[in-house]
């Protein structure tokens, strides 16, 4: 299952100088693995925008909008997926992982 998402906000703040910007530079597509949905593997595709900083004294000329509540920068899995994986790892402990593969097919 593939899910395509995109932000609806039109203004983004520069992470360095915190000035708001509407000046859109480009788009790019990010792919994430998410938890299984209805028993099927789920991929999320995030259309992320790149903005241009309008302050001339700011060292960062182009920046990308952030989605810290669900997607981490430079990661390929969602935060929900990582939380689930951590819970499973703590449950398994020192036991043999192959015994749990039957119950957790998304690994």
Question: pLDDT (tens digit, 9 = 90+) per residue, 77-93?
Answer: 777 767 777 777 777 77
Alpha-carbon gap, residue 50 to 61, rounded angstroms: 10
Q: Answer yes or no: is 107 within a domain.
A: no
| Segments forming the whole domain that contains residue 61 | 2-99
User: pLDDT grade, residue 51 (50/70/90)?
Assistant: very high
pLDDT for position 82: 74
Q: Answer yes or no: is 27 within a domain.
A: yes
Q: Answer yes or no: is 22 within a domain.
A: yes
**What are residue 63's phi and psi, to 5 degrees?**
-140, 160
Which residues is 34 bridged to in the sheet?
42
pLDDT for position 32: 80
Q: Answer yes or no: is 105 within a domain.
A: no
Examine the pLDDT at 64 and tell me if it is beyond 70. Answer: yes
CB within 8 Å of 31: residues ≥ 6 apart: 43, 44, 45, 46, 76
Model-level pTM? Answer: 0.60
CB neighbours (10 Å) of residue 60? Answer: 12
Examine the pLDDT at 99 and tell me if it is beyond 90. Answer: no
Q: Answer yes or no: is 7 within a domain.
A: yes
Question: pLDDT (tens digit, 9 = 90+) per residue, 9-33?
Answer: 888 889 888 899 999 889 888 888 7
| Burial (CB count <10 Å: 0-12, 13-18, 19+), residue 21 | buried
pLDDT for position 39: 73
Quickly list H helices, 18-94. Answer: 79-92
* Number of domains into which the chain is organized: 1
Q: Answer yes or no: is 60 within a domain.
A: yes
């Amino acid at each position: 299952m593939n899910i395509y998402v995109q932000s609806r906000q039109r203004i983004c703040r520069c992470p360095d100088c915190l000035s708001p910007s509407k000046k859109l530079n480009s788009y790019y597509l990010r792919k994430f693995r998410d938890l299984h949905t209805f028993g099927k593997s789920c991929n999320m595709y995030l259309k992320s925008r790149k903005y241009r900083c309008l302050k001339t004294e700011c060292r960062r000329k182009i920046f990308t909008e952030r989605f810290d509540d669900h997607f981490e920068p430079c990661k390929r899995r969602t935060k929900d997926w990582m939380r689930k994986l951590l819970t499973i790892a703590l449950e398994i402990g020192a036991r043999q992982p192959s015994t749990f593969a039957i119950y957790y097919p998304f690994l």
